[in-house]
Each structure stands twice: as structure tokens, then as C-alpha cells.
């Protein structure tokens, strides 16, 4: 490997992401209510879901049978320990951190803003600034105040106005210290998981019509929030966190291509196309590669995370290449894996960065990489058992313990890339094993698919 090839530009931002409900603790919102209602059921169902499909998971994570796993409760107590967490991020070399504001804290009652909570977020942002860490601030990462939910949530015609009132208040209160704003996190995941197909998450509505209504309200909300932020702070940079997937047509067969193209148009392109004149950058969240074989998704799953999600790092290259057409800089705002034993995380980070760099050489304007996540946290309807953190959180004591991969990532940041020195230092412990598994055990591409 030629060292120079995998060096990143000086001004490239490196860091990690978190979101309020997943780490703060002590929140009262639509999710906290939902968790209390469903914790026992989720614990009961986990035996069926994981025990049947992937028995190793339930053996490895017995806590998934425990209802308390599904209640965010004190989470990581980040609300009280944010300074400690940011210092740790600084020690780990990070130059950017993505956080989110908890709407239910700052506007617990309709139209009544809690100035103490707003001051809290001011402190959060300035503590990042004092450490020389660039804050990326998400206005809305999925959880909503109870009053907003009771008024019909995002299905309600007035929802956009409520959101804009909140967004404007945040921008006026916090904007002088924030350069990068993210209005909305992953509109597709939110609307499909809470409405349409699965109706799994709050508000659990299975309705096509509602799904589209919500989705279109989110488009409108983003555009108006974009304009509001730019009006107040014209030099700020505003975008969304967009969850793009690499849809690959197996063997480029026509039927596979049709499905992959349609899926791509709806999932990856539609939102971005609709907001194309209302974004300064594209915030990319990337986790998935969907191989389309005979009309449906059939991944090879050579290497999977603790959640059973395929780890296919090359996919980010294709997604980044595709985003070039929008002519906007890209910040990778989420990318990561659940890996409690930290056996695959270093390898995954290394491979992802290789492919990011490759896309950059071919013209992709990527300006930063923020790993998901800084620390283990509350993974929505899965609860605490999936461990996404560079930093491990002891669930009993809440002690923070950086994993080996956090040190590997730190060395990459210090070297501004994947140099021989970094690879050599970590090769024995955490890069070699997984590389040989990919070569050895995995079936060759296509060997599983009957046509």
C-alpha cells in the first residue's frame, strides 16, 4: 500500500456522533412512554426473534430477555457527564462531534420554552468549542414532546409550524456558536419504522397515506428550517442526515437492475432531490448494502455485526460516487457497527476509510468522518444490548472505557490517514483475524443464489 494514497487532507474533520435520547438519560417524550409500554413484550419477543434466526445473539446477549434493557432510563447519563465525555473524545483525537437537541426538554409544553434547558445546550456546545471540537448540531433526531405527539405528531398539518417555531428558537438561542446544523435525522427510517411497513416504532401506525404525509411534512420542515437558519446566520452550513443505501443489482441482470433503480430512486434520491436547493452540504449516514437478487434483497452476509447486519465497507464508495451529482460537500455523519467484543470495528473503520479515500480521489468532496457512535447507547427498540461505541459503557457503573478500536481510530486521526505505521501497530491484534476470515470462510460471490 502506498502511504500517500491513504492520507486525508489537513482540514478533514474526524470524530463521532451521538443523539440526545440515546445517551442523555431522564427524558420524557414519545419514546420514553413507548418503552415503558413495550419493554416486557420486547423482552419476551426477543427469544423468538433472535433465538430462532440467530441463536448466537441470544446466548451472547442474555440481557435482551430482560425488560430493563428496553427502557432508556438514565441511558449513559450524558446529560450530566457531557464534559467528561467530550474530554474523552478530545483525548481520542476527535475534532468534531455530532450531538442533538432534545425537543421535549426545551419545549416540554406547547409554546413554552424552558430557558434552563436551553442554557444547558449552550453549555454543551461551548464545552465542545472550548476543547477545539467542532459541534454538528442536529435539531431533531426522532423523539418528540408528548404534546406534539398528542396533536397527531408529524401527520398533523400544523406539525411543520410547530417544528419551525422550535427550530427558530434554537437557532436564535444557540446559533452564534454553531456553524453546522442538521435539521432532521434520517427521514426515511423515521417514517417507515413509525408508520408504513413496520409500524414498529412510535407512533405505530401502519398506513401508507400517513407514511407519505409524514414524509412530505419532513421535506417541508427541512426546507423551512433551512431558510430560517440561513436568514439568521447566512454563513452557517445546513443539511440533513441522509441514510443512503447501496442497492446493487446482482450480476447486472435486468430484473435486478429494475428493482435496484426503483429502490434507489425512492430511498436515496427522492428526499435529496426535493431539497436540492435547500442544503449546503449532504450529511451522509451509511450502514447498508442491499444486493438485489431475483426481485428482492439477498445479501451474502460474509461478515456481520452483532445485529446480524452485513458489513460490506465497499458500499460507501458507491454511495459517495452517486452523491457527487448534487455538487455539495459531504460530511459522513454516521457509520458504524454493533460489536461488543470489538473484534471487527478496527477492520471496518480501516476498510470504510479506504473506500472513502478512493471515492475522494475520484472527485467525491468528502470533508469529514463521524463514527457512530462515540459511546455505547440506547439503540431504540433493541435497547442497550447492541454496542455501537468506540467507548464502552459499563451498564452497572456507567464507567467509560475506550475500546481498542478507539485507539486505532485515534492513531489514524493523528497520522491523518491509514499509514503503514498505524496498520502495523494494530495489525496483530485486530486487523489480521478478520481479513483472513473474509478470504477463508466466506462463500464466493453468487455461489448461494439459484437463478
Give 265's contacts (C-beta < 8 A, 6+ positions apart). none
- Residue of 285, 315, 405, 419 that binds ligand BGC (CB under 6 A): 285
Least separation in angstroms between residue 386's CB and ligand BGC is 8
Minimum Å gap between C-beta 306 and ligand BGC is: 12
| Shortest spacing between CB 372 and ligand BGC, in angstroms | 5
Strand ordering across the sheet containing 246-249 = 246-249, 289-293, 296-297
Contact string (CB under 6 A) for ligand BGC, positions 2-41, x = contact: -----------------x--x-------------------
Q: Say how many C-beta atoms besides its own lie within 10 A of residue 218's C-beta.
A: 26
DSSP H or E segment with residue 346: helix 345-361
Could you say whether residue 143 binds ligand BGC (CB under 6 A)? no
Q: If DSSP codes are grouped into helix, strand and coil, which group holds residue 69? A: helix
Q: x-or-dash pattern for ligand BGC, window 321-360, by CB under 6 A?
A: -------------x--------------------------
Stretch that binds ligand BGC, among 52-60, 125-133, 183-191, 310-318 (CB under 6 A): 183-191
Query: Which residue in the set 146, 189, 200, 263 belongs to the binding site for ligand BGC (CB under 6 A)?
Result: 189
Distance of closest approach, residue 107 Cβ to ligand BGC, in angstroms = 21
Residue the block writes with cell 430560517: 228
CA distance 19 to 56: 29
Helix (H, G, I), strand (E, B) or coil at 219: helix
Which of 146, 99, 147, 149 is CA-nearest to residue 122?
Answer: 99
Cβ proximity to ligand BGC: between 134 and 376 the closer is 376
Assigned C-alpha cell, 245: 443505501
Instruction: Select the residue interacting with ligand BGC from 107, 134, 186, 306 (CB under 6 A).
Output: 186
Nearer to ligand BGC, 38 or 372 (CB): 372
Shorter beta-carbon distance to ligand BGC: residue 3 or 379 = 379
Question: Which position among 104, 185, 191, 192 is part of the footprint of ligand BGC (CB under 6 A)?
Answer: 185
The per-residue DSSP string of 123-163 comes to: HHHHHHHHTTPEEEEEEE-S---HHHHHTTGGGSTTHHHHH
**112 — phi, psi (to 5°)?**
-110, 110
User: Taking CB under 6 A as the rule, does residue 379 contact ligand BGC?
Assistant: yes
The residues that touch ligand BGC, with contacts defined as CB under 6 A, are: 19, 22, 185-186, 189, 243, 285, 334, 372, 379
Amino acid at each position: 500500500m502506498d502511504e500517500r494514497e491513504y492520507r486525508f487532507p489537513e482540514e478533514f474533520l474526524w470524530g463521532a456522533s451521538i443523539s440526545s435520547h440515546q445517551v442523555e438519560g431522564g427524558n420524557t417524550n414519545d419514546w420514553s412512554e413507548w418503552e415503558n409500554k413495550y419493554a416486557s413484550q420486547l423482552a419476551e419477543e426477543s427469544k423468538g426473534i433472535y433465538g430462532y434466526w440467530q441463536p448466537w445473539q441470544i446466548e451472547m446477549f442474555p440481557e435482551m430477555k430482560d425488560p430493563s434493557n428496553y427502557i432508556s432510563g438514565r441511558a449513559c447519563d450524558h446529560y450530566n457527564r457531557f464534559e467528561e465525555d467530550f474530554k474523552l473524545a478530545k483525548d481520542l483525537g476527535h475534532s468534531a462531534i455530532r450531538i442533538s437537541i432534545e425537543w421535549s426538554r426545551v419545549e416540554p409544553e406547547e409554546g413554552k420554552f424552558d430557558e434552563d434547558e436551553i442554557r444547558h445546550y449552550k453549555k454543551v456546545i461551548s464545552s465542545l468549542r472550548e476543547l477545539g471540537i467542532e459541534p454538528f448540531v442536529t435539531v431533531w433526531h426522532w423523539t418528540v414532546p408528548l404534546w406534539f405527539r398528542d396533536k397527531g405528531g408529524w401527520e398533523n398539518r400544523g406539525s411543520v409550524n410547530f417544528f419551525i417555531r422550535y427550530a427558530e428558537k434554537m437557532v436564535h438561542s444557540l446559533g452564534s456558536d454553531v456553524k453546522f446544523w442538521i435539521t432532521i435525522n434520517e427521514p426515511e427510517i423515521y417514517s417507515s419504522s413509525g408508520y408504513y411497513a413496520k409500524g414498529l416504532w412510535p407512533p405505530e401506525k401502519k398506513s401508507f397515506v400517513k407514511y407519505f404525509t409524514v414524509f412530505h411534512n419532513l421535506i417541508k420542515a427541512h426546507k423551512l428550517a433551512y431558510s430560517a437558519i440561513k436568514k439568521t446566520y447566512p454563513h452557517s452550513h445546513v443539511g440533513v442526515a441522509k441514510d443512503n443505501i447501496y442497492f446493487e443489482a446482482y450480476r447486472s441482470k435486468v430484473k435486478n437492475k429494475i428493482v435496484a433503480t426503483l429502490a434507489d430512486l425512492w430511498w436515496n434520491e427522492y428526499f435529496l432531490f426535493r431539497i436540492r436547493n435547500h442544503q449546503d452540504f449532504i450529511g451522509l449516514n451509511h450502514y447498508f448494502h442491499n444486493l438485489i437478487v431475483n426481485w428482492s434483497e439477498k445479501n451474502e452476509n460474509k461478515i456481520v455485526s452483532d445485529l446480524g447486519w452485513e458489513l460490506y465497507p465497499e458500499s460507501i464508495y458507491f454511495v459517495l460516487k452517486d452523491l457527487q451529482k448534487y455538487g455539495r460537500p459531504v460530511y459522513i455523519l454516521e457509520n458504524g457497527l454493533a460489536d461488543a467484543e470489538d473484534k471487527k470495528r478496527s477492520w471496518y473503520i480501516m476498510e470504510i476509510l479506504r473506500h472513502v479515500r478512493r471515492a475522494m480521489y475520484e472527485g467525491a468532496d468528502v470533508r469529514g468522518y463521524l463514527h457512530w457512535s462515540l459511546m455505547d447507547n440506547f439503540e431504540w427498540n433493541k435497547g442497550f444490548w447492541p454496542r455501537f461505541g468506540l467507548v464502552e459503557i459499563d451498564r452497572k457503573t456507567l464507567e467509560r472505557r475506550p475500546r481498542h478500536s478507539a485507539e486505532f481510530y485515534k492513531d489514524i486521526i493523528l497520522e491523518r490517514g491509514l499509514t503503514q505505521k498505524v496498520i502495523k501497530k494494530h495489525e496483530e491484534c485486530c486487523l489480521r483475524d478478520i481479513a483472513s476470515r473474509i478470504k477463508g470462510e466466506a462463500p464466493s460471490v453468487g455461489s448461494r443464489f439459484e437463478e
